Amino acid sequence: MDDRKIRKVLIVGGGSAGWMTAAMLSQALARDCAITLVESEEIGTIGVGEATIPPIRVFNQTLGIDEREFLARTKGSFKLGIEFVGWGAENSRYFHPFGPYGRNFDMVPMHQYWLQARRQGETAPLDEHAMAWHLARAGRFAHPSPDPRSVMSTFDYAYHFDAGLYARFLRTIAEQRGVTRVEGRIADVALHGETGFVEAVTMADGRRIEAELFIDCSGFRGLLIEGALKTGYDDWSHWLPCDRAVAMPCAHPAADPNPTPYTRSTARAAGWQWRIPLQHRIGNGYVFCSAFLDEDRAADDLASSLDGAALGDPRAVRFQAGRRKLHWNRNVIAVGLSSGFLEPLESTSIHLIQANISKILALFPDRDFDPATRDEFNRIAHGEMERIRDFIILHYKLTQRQDAELWRHVAAMDIPDSLALKIAHFRRHGRLIARELDLFAPPSWLAVHIGQNNLPEGHDPLIDYRGVDGREWLGRLRGAMAAEAAQQPMHGAVLAGLAPQPA
């Protein structure tokens, strides 16, 4: 029988994108398909990318990965959300929690009662109605409760991990499931004379590797999707002008070795600084705009603001916000940095790898490479990136900082219409527009609007019909959350308890 099944897949690149793809495809295409991955130690990987969002847990679970082993192998930690420092006004701070704020007790969303209470003089910030915030503030962690009556069921979590160790862990899984790894540098890409499809890659030592489907995980260089197919790039740097980062890990401070169970993003003069605590170190980096700061100065600023002793020299990375015009072009699908880049403000790049892998599986081609399947893939991928882009721009647009050129620029800049509509809608009545397939649900948007002081002018008219005073209920909610948080173990103790037990 002449089936049209794809029998050879080549994954180009062995960073997080390459090995995540290899691990998942080797599970899905267990029979009749040879999967090869090429990577070059000489070129190396980007070596950053350590904070994630909750869907990563679904990815790991689908691969059958045990959380305890995963955290031990990647020196990972738990993440309850992101603390934003100095993003609204210079000395302000707020928390973007994973999961909702408390839970609704009425048909009107809970935050409308919080806004009402605020108008009546209540001073407790919105943060205090999120279980994740209470745990984070106390440096504590426990898994969410399955009991919907408990406030401990009202949060979600993700991980911080060492990206290099994660790729190595996934490599072991992929190789056990039959993936062949080829070490070496690809020097040339051969295209079919008529179709323009990629036929093979040629290694620097002359080896030729053929395949039917190529997954481009080659990082920013986009060896196949751009180098060979000239797909083109939509530049978004007019909305997201940061184009550089310097990274420099440090040791945990001796005085407080408990890793904070959250990421911190601190606004700086020409960008922002990340702080990602792992078990063995803290990842730090300064994402900045080169129009307003040079690399040496950024490295000095970063080095002088670390919590502990620096571990190594600063490493610089350059990028351009935007996306490849097509994520799937001919028989090449781009996954990871080769498909585009959004700065890591909301830790979304690894998620976008996961999202493209899910779409590869949902829309897996045969050798006919139906253009309609490809178009559907690109349509979804473009929408996913645009919605995340808007959410990231929101953080810049809502700043009230006027102390540096970058902040004056982003506060005044034009923004996409899709985002302008969401901001205007929230300002009017405090309502949040949820779109199909939004990665960031209304509570995430709420966190940024309120956290950066974009307070609505009016309120939900429905609340005037309810005759309910939510203040007492909100007070009880805060109290229950604080009491629960105080009973949970310290994050460091949870991690120590997860370490594999000696036999």
Q: Which residues bind ligand FAD (CB under 6 A)?
A: 13-18, 38-40, 43-46, 48-52, 163, 185-186, 217-219, 221, 223, 245, 285, 317, 319, 336-338, 344, 347, 349-350, 353
Q: Considering 5, 8, 75, 79, which one is annotated as catalytic?
A: 79
CB of 114 to ligand FAD, least distance (A): 30
| Nearer CB in complex with ligand FAD: 138/191 | 191
Element containing residue 340 per DSSP (H, E): strand 340-341
Local structure of 333: helix, strand or coil:
strand
CB of 76 to ligand FAD, least distance (A): 13
CB of 77 to ligand FAD, least distance (A): 13
Distances in Å between the alpha carbon of 50 and those of 245, 262, 359, 395, 453? 14, 12, 23, 21, 29
Place of tokens 């990421």: 263
Place of tokens 């948007």: 445
| Nearer CB in complex with ligand FAD: 241/336 | 336
| Nearer CB in complex with ligand FAD: 110/167 | 167
CB atoms within 10 A of CB 126: 22
DSSP symbols for 307-372: SS-B-S--EEEE---EEES-SEETTEEE-GGGGEE--GGG--HHHHHHHHHHHHHHT---TT--HH
CB of 426 to ligand FAD, least distance (A): 26
| Nearer CB in complex with ligand FAD: 207/382 | 207
Active site residue 325: no
230 burial (CB, 10 Å; 0-12 / 13-18 / 19+) is exposed
Strands (E) across 347-473 are located at none
- Name the DSSP letter for residue 221: G
| Nearer CB in complex with ligand FAD: 116/263 | 263
Pick from 255, 279, 243, 288: which is nearest to 404 by CA? 288
The amino acid sitting at 290 is S
| Nearer CB in complex with ligand FAD: 135/357 | 357
The size of the chain, in residues, is: 503
CB of 53 to ligand FAD, least distance (A): 8
Pick from 251, 380, 399, 400: which is nearest to 328 by CA? 380
Pick from 434, 347, 327, 423: which is nearest to 109 by CA? 434
CB of 87 to ligand FAD, least distance (A): 17
| Structural contact between residues 155 and 103, judged by C-beta atoms closer than 8 angstroms | no
- Residues with catalytic annotation? 79
